[in-house]
Structure 1
Amino acid sequence: MIRFLLSCILCFSLQVRALADPLTLVCDIWPPYQIQENSHVSGFRTELVKNIFEMAEIPITVIHAYPWKRALLMLEKGEVDGLFSANHTPERESYAMYPELPLTESPWVLWTREDSGISYTSFADLRGKRVGVVRGYSYTPEFWEILTQYGRPEEASSDELNFRKLAAGRLDMIVAELNNGYFIMQKERIQGIRPFAESPVKTDGLYLIFNRKRVDEKTAEKFSNALREYRNSEAYKQLHNRYFKAETESFIPEPSLSSGSTDGL
């Protein structure tokens, strides 16, 4: 009996210790949301995630950044507890647990040169246009069907390359995430390009997702509750306004920030 009780106490102690262990989180580099300076990861969503876990009283380790595919594979294999920022796909639900709310919404828009004379209100305006896209990125089926049927899609290896080609007049339009696009323009010192921000091609909800085998539903629920509370707080408004222009939701360039890589979701 004593041996049995000791075994129970030991198991309980191990469980309590496991529950108290900080969660391990990873992300990719996606300025201005996730920014890497040397070994330090910052950015709007990185700070948002840290603040939410602090509010939920859930300890986390130092956040590390990896290329997107590697970070996603680490979560799938159970090498880490959580990953941000990920959109929702049915395929990921087998190993990933999604909180109730996304961290943020991410608008993808078309861009053109200010002197191009091009207007955009519907997919029909893509007719005959050379439109830059990034190889491996996910676009809506409707947009891709129209673009391939009426437009002239041209693939590139990165958003940075597409912005440079657009500025040089080698493309008529490109597709890029709104705030990441502003960041790239600042980093590349590109001017004379504007987004059609009022007509997004798509808007993704981007989540922090948990590994199902390593994190329980109660922890995910605590995170969701803290996220909801924090999004309605004055602290969230202050954090948001440090990175974005309140009137346009666009990125405020900060010369000290570095971009790293930009892996698609």
Structure 2
Amino acid sequence: MIRANAFFCLCLLFPITVQAERYAIAIGEFPPYVSEALPSYGFIGELTTSALEHEGHTVEFHFYPWRRAYLLTQLGEMDATLPWSYTQERNEQFLYSQAILNGDVVLFFNKGKKRAWQQLDDLSDLTFGSILGYNVSPLVSQKIEDGKLRSTTTPDETASFKMLNAGRFDVVAQDRNLGFATIKTLDSIGFEVSNIEIGEQIVDSVPAYLVAGRSNHKSTVLIDSFNSGLTKMIESGEFQKLLDKHDLVQ
């Protein structure tokens, strides 16, 4: 008992600290949130680095196609990946951080097709452009899957907005920040975007998270450290400054 009490007292005098780690983070191309072409890899790169540095850790980023980033993290070859939305299937394989941000999904219309609506079913006469293998909005995807909305698939965001501008379909549901960034990029290279109108109503709000494989022994400490660092950033105002720096709306 005396030895146990002595050990307890020593723990109070010399708190046990988490060992500093260097975490390997798998990311991919998802501008304006993250891109190899952006300084510090954009908002996601700076956020992840800062949150973990607050807890004494460092990071190294590795760019992969998103599917490979997911699999490598699941296997434990990468320590974490972000940003990912929540699904029940994914939850069985990964631990989730607290939400990093909410991606507001809005509608981008072909000129003349914009209208007020109360429910997505009010737009059943319009054709949506949807990206193959990319679930930007669970609500819209479910409506399409149930046959209540019509859709035409496209390979990526750039193709979607080019086809929308050309009138190949009527509307695209897209993360607001991503949609604005895509239009801005197309305009900067001289591509016509004047036939695109932006809806004001928010269709869906999709939280994004950092995820780490449940089989990786480092995951619990990583998630706890990231959450603690992110909380410090939010409380200090650093998080909002980072959003403003990257011209992102939250």
Report the TM-score, using the length of structure 1 for normalisation. 0.76
The separation in 2 between residues aligned to 1:21 and 1:145, in whole angstroms, is 41
Q: Secondary structure at the match of 2:244?
A: helix
Report the alpha carbon displacement of residue 46 of structure 1 after superposing the two structures with TM: 1.5
1:224 deviates by 0.9
Matched residue, 1:79: 77
**Alignment partner of 1:218 is 2:217:** no
Contact 1:121 1:199 in 2 (8 A): no
Amino acid at match of 1:162: S
Residues 1:47 and 2:49 aligned together: no
- Segments of structure 1 that go 5 or more residues without pairing to the other structure are 1-17, 251-265
Q: 1:163 to 1:206 in 2, by over 3 A?
A: same
2:67 alignment partner in structure 1:
69
Matches within 5 A, 1:135-154: 135-138=132-135, 143-144=140-141, 146-147=143-144, 149-154=147-152
Alignment partner of 2:201: what SS? coil
Distance 1:197 1:27, change over 3 A: farther
Instruction: State the SS of the aligned residue for 2:59.
Output: coil
Partner of 1:36: 36
Deviation by residue 1:85-143 (Cα, 9 ceiling, x = unmatched)? 111222233432112x1111112222103443533332132121111111112266653
C-alpha separation in 1, matches of 2:142 and 2:211: 30
> Corresponding residue for 2:11?
none
Task: Say whether 1:243 aligns with 2:246.
Answer: yes
Q: Return the offset for 1:216.
A: 4.4
Query: Residue 45 of structure 2: SS of its match in structure 1?
Result: helix
Does 2:97 correspond to 1:106? no
Q: Give the conservation status (yes or no) of the 8 Å contact 1:131–1:152.
A: yes
Give the drift of 1:219: 3.5
Hey, what's the Cα distance between the residues in 2 that align with 1:150 and 1:164? Answer: 25
State the shift of 1:30 in Å.
0.4
Listed one character per residue, the Cα deviations across residues 42-67 of structure 1 (whole Å, up to 9, x for unaligned) are 11122111111111211222x12111
Q: Which residue of 2 aligns with 1:254?
A: none
The answer to whether the aligner puts 1:124 opposite 2:126 as a matched pair is no
Equivalent pair of 1:113/1:166 in contact (CA under 8 Å): yes
Letter in 2 for 1:205: P
Taking structure 1 as reference, are residues 224 and 135 closer, same or farther at Cα in structure 2, changes over 3 Å only?
same
Aligned counterparts of 2:47 and 2:141: Cα–Cα separation in 1: 32
Q: Residues of 2 paired with 1:149 and 1:91: CA distance?
A: 23
Contact 1:108 1:177 in 2 (8 A): yes
Larger deviation, residues 165-174 vs 132-141: 132-141
Matched residue of 1:121: which SS?
A: coil
What's the RMSD between the two structures over aligned residues?
2.4
Q: CA deviation at 1:166?
A: 1.0
Paired with 1:230 and 1:219, the residues of 2 have a C-alpha distance of: 16
SS in 1 for 2:58: coil
AA matched with 1:116: K
2-structure distance, mates of 1:222, 1:72: 21
Q: How much does 1:73 deviate?
A: 0.7
Task: Tell whether the 8 Å contact from 1:131 to 1:173 is kept in structure 2 after alignment.
Answer: yes
**Pairing 1:191–2:194 present:** yes
Contact 1:178–1:195 under 8 Å retained in 2:
no
Distance 1:30 1:195 in 2: 20
- Measured in 2, the distance between the counterparts of 1:141 and 1:221 equals 28
Read off the aligned partner of 1:29 and give its amino acid letter. E
What is the alpha-carbon distance in structure 1 between the residues aligned to residue 136 and residue 50 of structure 2? 31
Residues paired across the two proteins, number: 226
